Chain A
Amino acid sequence: GENVEQHPSTLSVQEGDSAVIKCTYSDSASNYFPWYKQELGKGPQLIIDIRSNVGEKKDQRIAVTLNKTAKHFSLHITETQPEDSAVYFCAASSNDYKLSFGAGTTVTVRA
């Protein structure tokens, strides 16, 4: 099955700086790569996703890049704000029903 590794496990950034989270996956058949944000006491929420037919996708301050050859993808948050503090999970899947999550990154934005 798919194995997703996520780094770092914790990330502290100064407000206004950028944050980068990296994930690698094992199954070359994986073609869907979502990122979920989980705030304290809440369920995860999809913030951005990318499919294997594109290399980069951007939504305001958030961008995701995908390198299929190297089997890794990254989340970039620019101009971080206090409300970006949360746990972020990457995930990968192929066309079956099961999504494999990374272990999560706790992001803390310091004011």
Chain B
Amino acid sequence: DAMVIQNPRYQVTQFGKPVTLSCSQTLNHNVMYWYQQKSSQAPKLLFHYYDKDFNNEADTPDNFQSRRPNTSFCFLDIRSPGLGDAAMYLCATSRVNSANEKLFFGSGTQLSVL
């Protein structure tokens, strides 16, 4: 089935140690998003890519970066994770670059920072 796949499901890193989260999609969608979701809170948009055009939210911390080497893959890099970065990270896609489009979410990567 076409889907959004995130790896790994659980990631443990040490304080300050760089970590990369991965997302792939078989939907051939133009837009990919990274959301951060902390416990009992709404997903918070970090970035999105429309094709290769990168869009960063104003309040996304500077130690968060993203790469999209091709249509299918997108990566979230956290250069120096702090304890406050422990969260669920959700990747999503949409067919076109519009907020009025259905989002397809992956199952997320739960990041723990020790």
Which residues from chain A sit less than 8 Å from chain B, CB to CB?
9, 31-32, 34, 36, 41-46, 49, 51, 89, 93-99, 101-104, 106
Q: Which residues of B contact A96 (CB under 8 A)?
A: 99
User: A94 and B99: CB pair below 8 A?
Assistant: yes
On whether A44 and B43 interact (CB within 8 A), knowing A97-B48, A97-B55, the answer reads yes
Q: With A and B bound together, what is the CA distance between A110 and B89 in angstroms?
A: 30
Q: How many residues on B have C-beta within 8 angstroms of the other chain's C-beta atoms?
A: 22
Asked whether B82 is an interface residue with its Cβ less than 8 Å from the other chain, the reply is no
Choose among A31, A44, A49 the residue that contacts B90 (Cβ–Cβ < 8 A). A44
Q: With A and B bound together, what is the CA distance between A36 and B31 in angstroms?
A: 19
On whether A34 and B102 interact (CB within 8 A), knowing A44-B43, A101-B42, the answer reads yes
For the complex formed, measure the closest distance between the CB of A21 and the CB atoms of chain B, giving whole angstroms. Answer: 13
Interface string of B41-55 (1 = CB under 8 A from A): 111010010100001
Choose among B4, B45, B48, B100 the residue that contacts A43 (Cβ–Cβ < 8 A). B4
Q: Kindly identify, within residues 59 to 114 of chain B, every residue whose CB is under 8 Å from any CB belonging to chain A.
A: 90, 92, 97-100, 102-103, 105-108
Main secondary structure of the interface of B (DSSP, over half): loop
Q: Which residues of B contact A93 (CB under 8 A)?
A: 99-100
On whether A97 and B99 interact (CB within 8 A), knowing A42-B108, A43-B4, A44-B90, the answer reads yes
User: B107 and A42: CB pair below 8 A?
Assistant: yes
On whether A98 and B45 interact (CB within 8 A), knowing A31-B100, A43-B4, the answer reads yes
